[in-house]
Amino acid sequence: MKIIKRSGKEAGFDASKITDAVNKANQEVPESDRLSPEQVLAIADQITRFCASKDRIYNVEEIQDMVENHIMGYKAYEVARKYITYRYRRALVRKSNSTDEQILTLIECNNEEIKQENSNKNPIVNSVQRDYMAGEVSKDITKRFLLPEKVVRAHEEGIIHFHDADYFAQHMHNCCLVNLEDMLQNGTVISETMIERPKSFSTACNVATQAIAQIASSQYGGQSITLSHLAPFVDVSRKKLQKAVREEFEAAGLELSEEKIRQVAEMRVEEEIRRGVQMIQYQVITLMTTNGQAPFVTVFMYLDEVEEGRLRDDLAMVIKEMLRQRMQGVKNEKGVYITPAFPKLIYVLEEDNIHEGSRYYDLTRLAAQCTAKRMVPDYISEKIMKENKEGNCYPCMGCRSFLTVYHDEQGKPKFYGRFNQGVVTLNLVDVACSSGKDMGKFWDILDERLELCKEALMLRHNRLKGTPSDVAPILWQYGALARLKKGEPIDKLLYGGYSTISLGYAGLCECTRYMTGKSHTDPEAMPFALEVMEHLNAACRKWQQETDIAFSLYGTPLESTTYKFAKCLQRRFGQIPGVTDKNYITNSYHIHVTEEIDAFSKLTFEAQFQKLSPGGAVSYVEVPDMQGNIEAVLAVMKHIYDNIMYAELNTKSDYCQVCGYEGEIKIIADDHGKLVWECPNCKNRDESKMNVARRTCGYIGTQFWNQGRTQEIQDRVLHL
């Protein structure tokens, strides 16, 4: 049995440390107030048996809380007071320099919590360690100097989650939709170097990848680009190649018709597209940003984003090549094709591609084959999104954050060049448990917590106010987001709906179960769940009217936070069946991962909640290997088109480097009860010698996960 030390390092559970600490407190009180030796041993034994009976590892703070409770359970209040005082003194010593031990264990790669914080960061790599080191210092500064104590306390107790505290000290925003069209058509500046309008498609792709890397280093969230901004450069290459072919044949003394020249040139155009797409795929994967990971980028594929005719056909060619190369995958160090995490792909389902026999149906079938093999693309229904977004269809920023609709000075909808200021997430399960099932008290507590969230979100907003454009020239001065002057503050972009700020929420499923005794899929419980969503949206609307800032309700992905929230809930309320008895809580409005439901019913049910999560949401269905059943994938895609705005299919795509097994790497419990990944063929458990890809919370993770998320992945049932 193990514990997690304050540094994040795992260590063996030692019950003698409990008895030693209690005995020290015991010796500081009069003999008449002391615990007996038998009682001291009983406390250690009870805590040991409790921890051994659970399927997760407890940290030192949690165990010390148990010690306090057990001492008071014996009515040894003087001993408890001395024990609490001892803890407080030790905490003060640690707080005087709270980052040293964290950083040292991080460098030595034995900090389990930080190692599993981000499923797309390799904590052994120097650049990742450097980012984490800076993050630990930044979090320490943020907690001690930049945030009020009540926000810090609520964050640490799991009442709210103040996202990305490791970046808060800097004046950085969350995520964005890159205005690649502006950067390519009007030129940009990258690392103080002028980049003019590209003269070919492949050059445009190269500029795009360089911009992606720079943008990723200037913000802390995801970014999205659209292929429609690259598509015009196909014809630029076409004209250039037609001229070159004509000159080549004239120089060789050969006569060719214009039709033949066009045919030869078109073959070269296809090769140019292949090279350009390959450049995007491989550069995005191999580029490393300043935070030690590949850029978190989404590529949007939407045919109707450009006019009909040559330009749309060129876009279709680019989309086809993007899907073809992604389906092939990329080679790992063993030379075997595997599933990469990025770029994330989103394919828009529309009238011209969803019906068999429609003009671009072949692209949709290719997308289905790619999803069956590599888990992407994900799908947006143009029809449903236009119903939900005032007649507009546009990409999310990163994996699920959606901007609100905004109109420019000419009254035209504008999405590219806009961004999200940040996120604070409310733990709905904690609100429910704190109410003791008293419905009136629930709504009162919810309103109190919402005011706390607003205060925390305004801290994020105010941190960005006054930020000069010079902090990230590529964003604010050279077209990615704006064309501000040097020294000009970004303030005007923070108001009037130009950018959004997100109220996240987590655990609607468990919240509803606690308050009603039923799943939110139950017709009797669903009205309560919908009322909670409406209440959260009403708060966002109220705040927007008060501040002129576009607050928006966001379905939080909860990558590592799901484990943190679960541990905090268990510490505060114990293990409540169906509510706090897992090492994770459910993302946003999702149906619980263990609930048996078919894919079509799940998507239809979740669509109504997705509509009430305008700041971002994505639904998924868990499916087996579908490579031999593409018709079933297409059936799900058609259901998405008719019923839900944004959804994805989760399958498995793993590889064992020890024995060459390709299939599903399994999750098992080791001898200490810790969940680990194991090859079913050769029993390899070395994570550095396997390639595992799983949908974590909207995007694909490839660097493994904490114990809470790992249990959630293990618990998932199939929907098809």
Sign of torsion over alpha carbons 149, 544, 401, 467: negative
CA 160 – CA 361 distance, rounded (Å) = 45
**pLDDT tens figures, 188-241:** 999 889 999 999 999 999 999 999 999 998 999 999 999 999 999 999 999 999
Strand partners for 2: 12
Percentage of the chain exceeding pLDDT 70: 92
Work out whether strand 297-301 and strand 344-349 pair parallel, antiparallel, or are unpaired: parallel
Q: Which of 9-18, 333-342, 655-664 has the highest mean pLDDT?
A: 655-664
Measure CA 178 to chain center: 18
pLDDT of residue 706: 83
C-beta of residue 227 within 8 angstroms of C-beta of residue 318: yes
Confidence (pLDDT) at 356: 95
pLDDT of residue 341: 82
Decide if pLDDT at 574 tops 70: yes
What value does the mean pLDDT of the chain take? 91
**What does the pLDDT average to over 100-116?**
55
Lowest-confidence segment of 101-105, 158-162, 630-634 by average pLDDT: 101-105
* Mean pLDDT value across residues 550-563: 92
- CA 529, CA 609: separation in Å to the nearest integer? 9
Average pLDDT over residues 512-529: 98
Q: How many CA atoms lie within 13 A of 320 on its CB side?
A: 14
pLDDT score for 275: 97
pLDDT at residue number 288:
57
Confidence (pLDDT) at 699: 74
pLDDT band (50, 70, 90) for residue 446: very high
Residue of 659, 714, 647, 712 whose CA lies nearest to 684: 659
CA-CA distance, 275 to 277, in Å (whole number)?
Answer: 6
Catalytically active residues, by annotation: 174-175, 397, 399, 401, 420, 554, 559, 698
Confidence of residue 700 (pLDDT cuts 50, 70, 90): confident
Encoding tokens for residue 280?
A: 């995007």
Q: Band the pLDDT of 639: cuts 50, 70, 90.
A: very high
Domain locations in the chain as residue ranges:
1-96, 97-146, 175-388
Query: Can you tell me the distance from the alpha carbon of 694 to that of 715, in angstroms, rounded to the nearest whole number?
Result: 13
Q: What is the distance between the alpha carbons of residues 225 and 179, in angstroms, rounded to a whole number?
A: 8
The CA distance from 491 to 613, in Å, is: 26
Contact 163, 504 (CB under 8 A): yes
DSSP-derived secondary structure for 112-123: HHHHTS-TT--T
pLDDT score of 291 more than 70: no
Q: What is the pLDDT of residue 84?
A: 84
List the beta strands (DSSP E) in 179-295. 188-190, 193-195, 223-226
Q: Residue 616 is inside which H or E element, if any?
A: none
Look at residue 10 and tell me whether its pLDDT is greater than 90: no
List own/partner pairs for 533-538 with CB under 8 A and 24 or more apart: 533/508, 533/589, 533/609, 533/612, 533/613, 534/612, 535/443, 535/446, 536/426, 536/450, 536/503, 536/505, 537/612, 537/614
Give me the pLDDT at residue 62, please: 86
How far apart, in whole angstroms, are the C-alpha atoms of residue 510 and residue 258? 68
In this structure, what DSSP letter does residue 33 have?
G
For the cut 60, the answer to whether the pLDDT of residue 94 exceeds it is no
Report how far residue 130's alpha carbon sits from residue 598's, in angstroms, rounded to the nearest whole number. 45
**Closest to 610 in 3D by CA, of 414, 377, 396:** 396
Residue 334 pLDDT level (bands cut at 50, 70, 90): confident
Query: Which pLDDT band, with edges at 50, 70 and 90, does 680 fall under?
Result: very high
What's the angle, vertex CA 326, arms to CA 324 and CA 331, rounded to 5? 120
Residue 144 confidence class, pLDDT cut points 50, 70, 90: confident
Q: How far apart are CA 305 and CA 632, in angstroms?
A: 28
The pLDDT, as a whole number, for residue 701 is 79
Question: Using 50, 70 and 90 to split pLDDT, how confident is the model at 52?
Answer: confident
pLDDT tens per residue, range 409-431: 999 999 999 999 999 999 999 99
Lowest mean pLDDT among 258-267, 348-357, 524-533: 258-267
DSSP element (H, E) containing 675: strand 675-678
State residue 696's pLDDT score. Answer: 78
* Angle, CA 649 vertex, CA 646 and CA 652 arms, to 5°: 150
pLDDT at 505 (0 to 100) = 98
Give the H/E segment covering residue 130. Answer: helix 126-141
Average confidence (pLDDT) over 666-680: 92
Q: Is the pLDDT of residue 520 over 90?
A: yes
pLDDT for 8 equals 65
In this structure, whether the domain defined by 175-388 belongs to CATH 3.90.25.10 is answered with: no
Q: What distance in Å separates the CA atoms of residue 378 and residue 374, rounded to the nearest whole number?
A: 11
Q: pLDDT band for 605, please (50, 70, 90 cuts).
A: very high
Question: β-strands 500-506, 418-427: how paired?
Answer: parallel
pLDDT at 92: 56
Give yes or no for residue 108 having a pLDDT over 60: no
Instruction: Give pairs for 428-431: CB < 8 Å, separation 24+.
Output: 428/505, 428/506, 428/507, 428/508, 428/510, 428/511, 428/532, 429/506, 429/507, 429/510, 429/511, 429/514, 429/565, 429/569, 429/579, 429/580, 429/585, 430/158, 430/159, 430/565, 430/568, 430/569, 430/572, 431/511
> Cis omega (within 30 of 0) on the bond before 413?
no
DSSP reduced 3-state for 294: coil
Distance CA 558, CA 218 (A): 23
Helix %, strand %, coil % of the chain (to 5): 50, 15, 35
- The pair of structure tokens assigned to 667 is 């999750």
- In this prediction, residues 444-470 reach a mean pLDDT of 97
The yes-or-no verdict on residue 285 having pLDDT over 90 is no
